[in-house]
Amino acid sequence: MTRFELQDRMKGRPEIAAEDYAVLEKLYILLDLDKNIFAKIVDAAGVDTLVGREQYWDRLQAADDERQLRLKYERVVQELAEVNERQSQLQDFVDNYKGVKR
């Protein structure tokens, strides 16, 4: 959503400064909401209130980044266990290979 789209949806409100919009844009991306719903939130809470809470969004983003990293770690650990299991199976086959007797 552009600054002008947001401003258009909030008719009758003071113009949103570029610096404030940069903060609101991060929140818009973070929440991943419909444009109209987001505009209603901004209209109801107020630009200044939401911009003043930016520090909390940064913590939320950091927490989400940590969660994503943990999930990736858990997937990699699982994949590594599967690879080790497969390696063990192949090594057993090689160790027990006797060839074909004719």
Question: pLDDT per position in the chain (102 positions), as tens?
Answer: 777 788 777 777 778 888 888 888 888 888 888 888 988 888 888 888 988 888 887 787 888 889 899 999 999 999 999 999 999 999 999 999 987 776
Residue 71 domain-assigned (yes or no): no
Q: At what angle do helices 54-95 and 18-31 cross, to 10 degrees?
A: 40
pLDDT at 102: 66
Residue 88 domain-assigned (yes or no): no
Q: Does the model's pTM come out above 0.75? A: no
How far apart, in whole angstroms, are the C-alpha atoms of residue 24 and residue 9?
A: 14
pLDDT at 72: 96
Quote the number of domains for the chain. 1
Residue 82 domain-assigned (yes or no): no
Q: Which domain holds residue 40?
A: 1-52
Residue 20 domain-assigned (yes or no): yes
Residue 22 domain-assigned (yes or no): yes
Q: Which residues of 24-57 are buried (b: 16+ CB within 10 A; e: fewer)?
A: beebbeeeeeeeeebbebbeeeebeebbeeeeee
Q: What is the largest CA-CA distance in the chain?
A: 93
